[in-house]
Amino acid sequence: MSKRCPTCGKTSDSIQFYGQFCKNCVEKNIYEELPNSAEVILCKNCGKIRLQGKFVKDSGQNMQEVLQSAFKNYKIILVDYNTDDSTAILSFGKEKTGEIIPVEKKIELRFTKTLCENCSRRAGSYYEAVMQLRGNKERMERFIDRVNNYFERRGEFIAKVKEADNGYDVYLSNKKLASAYISSHNLETVNSYTLYGVKHGKKVYRHTYSIRM
Ligand SMILES: [Zn+2]
Ligand SMILES: [Zn+2]
C-alpha cells in the first residue's frame, strides 16, 4: 500500500519515504535545524587546529574530527572545505526512525586565532638545555643542522644559537631529547646543571652539555 506525505501530498510510488513523511520533506526539516557555523581554534603561527585540547595538522581527517566533536548530534562527513573563504560543506547524518539520513549544508568556519603550546614556547625563546660546542667550525655547523633536524622531526626546536669564543651555544627546547641525542650518538660530554625555577614543588634544572668536536 502506498503512503501519502502529510506535508506535501507526494506518494511513496514516486519518492522514497522515511516513516510517514517523504524524503524531501524529511530532509527539508533536518536542513532547517542544521547549524550555520562552527568554531575552529587555529594557531596563527603554524596553522595547526585544536582537536580535543591538542593542536594537530590541518588535514581533512582532523578537520572532520574537529567538526564531529562540535556537532555531536550528527554523524559528520566533511565533503569539502575551503580555508580561503572559511567555509565547509558537511554531510550531517541525522538519525530518524532508525536510519541515518544525510543532508548536506555549507557552513561558515569561524577561526579563533591563538598560539599553540609549541609556538608560544618558541615565541618566548623557551629552552631547557644548552649544548656548548667547541672545536672545528664546519663540524659544529653540520652538527647543529643534524640536531635541528632531529628536534624538528620530533616537534621540538632549537630556541637560539649564540656564537661564543671558539664555538656555539645551542639552546634547546627539550632536555630529555637533548640527552637522548647525546647518548644515541655516543658523544662525550661534560655536564652541568643550573637551577632555574621550581615547578609543582620540584626544582627544575637546565642542563648544559659541553661537547668538543
Ligand atoms: Zn513530503
Ligand atoms: Zn603553532
**Tell me, what's the pLDDT at 123?**
84
Ligand 2 midpoint to CA 162 (Å): 24
Let me know if 146 is exposed, middle or buried by CB neighbors in 10 A (0-12, 13-18, 19+): exposed
Can you give the pLDDT at residue 121?
Answer: 86
Alpha-carbon distance 25 to 117, whole Å? Answer: 47
What's the pTM value of the predicted model, to 2 decimals?
A: 0.68
The predicted-structure confidence for 41-56, as pLDDT tens digits, reads as follows 999 889 999 999 999 9
- Domain range summary for the chain, segments of one domain joined by +: 34-117, 125-212
Residue 63 is predicted with a pLDDT of 96
Ligand 1 centre to CA of 22 (Å) is 4
Ligand 1 centre from 49 Cα, in Å?
A: 40
pLDDT of residue 194: 87
Q: What is the pLDDT of residue 98?
A: 86
What does the pLDDT read at residue 201? 82
Give me ligand 1 centre to Cα 105, in Å: 20
Give the residue ranges of the chain where pLDDT is below 50.
none
Ligand located closest to 55 CA: 2
Inter-CA distances, 56 with 38, 136, 155, Å: 17, 39, 11
Give the model's pLDDT for residue 125.
82
